[in-house]
Amino acid sequence: MAVVLVDAGGTNIGSVRYALQRLGVEAALTADPVTIRGADKVILPGVGAAGPGMARLRELGLVELMRSLTQPVLGVCLGMQLLCTHSEEGDTECLGVIDAPVRRFHEAPGLRVPHMGWNALASVRTHPLLDGLAAGEQAYFVHSYAVPVGDYTVATSDFGGPFSAVIARGNFHGMQFHPERSAGVGARLLQNFLSL
């Protein structure tokens, strides 16, 4: 199975790559369109801001390619947000393969942004990405922007209200948390993606 990590400048690329190695998968890090199109699975990691993330994809000539992929694609953290239509972060037009907005969390008493740390996942519909996930299992989050709950939502988490923790539409999937930092839960969810 050929798995590629899109080299879009995310600072979590190394940790995602290592998490895949622990699952027995060597993922190529690439920005080459031919390699990406020919892969069995494509992962778009990302840590940082939406504007520079999209600028990097444009600079590499990968925007239309990413939109046209038909194999399973997984966006992680910022990578998930880039799969959506628009981010409030820098008023950024994103890839638009999942019809969802990305909005900044509102600070409130007891709610400090960014949302950082372990938080429970709650399944809202059956999906192969969640196979083997027990109720209340936790994942590790670090983010200031989130995707609201919609028909694309597979699992939610709560930070001053529910938000999308896992999304899916067709062959495009996203995890807002860091599966590579989420111990056994993260490993299981990555393995579920590899098994799609």
Total domain count, the chain: 1
Q: What is the pLDDT of residues 64-96, one digit of tens each?
A: 999 999 999 999 999 999 999 999 999 999 999
Name which of 40, 26, 21, 42 is nearest 180 in CA terms. 21
Selecting among 127, 137, 173, 180, the annotated active-site residue is 180
Task: Look up 94 and say whether it is catalytic.
Answer: no
pTM, 2 dp: 0.96
Confidence band, pLDDT 50/70/90 cuts, at residue 139 = very high
Report whether 66 contacts 98 (CB < 8 A): no
CA distances from 11 to 15, 46, 79, 153 (A): 9, 7, 11, 26
The CATH number given to whatever domain includes residue 129 is 3.40.50.880
Q: What is the pLDDT of residues 6-63, one digit of tens each?
A: 998 766 788 899 999 999 999 999 999 999 999 999 999 987 899 999 999 999 999 9
Measured distance CA(58)–CA(127) in Å, rounded:
31
Selecting among 59, 77, 86, 106, the annotated active-site residue is 77
Average the pLDDT over 183-194 and give the result.
97
Task: Look up 173 and say whether it is catalytic.
Answer: no
pLDDT of residue 15: 87
Which of 7-11, 45-49, 114-118, 184-188 is the least confident region?
A: 7-11
Burial class (CB in 10 A: 0-12, 13-18, 19+), 34: exposed
Selecting among 127, 143, 173, 178, the annotated active-site residue is 178
pLDDT of residue 10: 66
The parent domain of residue 187 ranges over 3-194
Measured distance CA(58)–CA(4) in Å, rounded:
18
pLDDT of residue 32: 96
Task: Look up 127 and say whether it is catalytic.
Answer: no
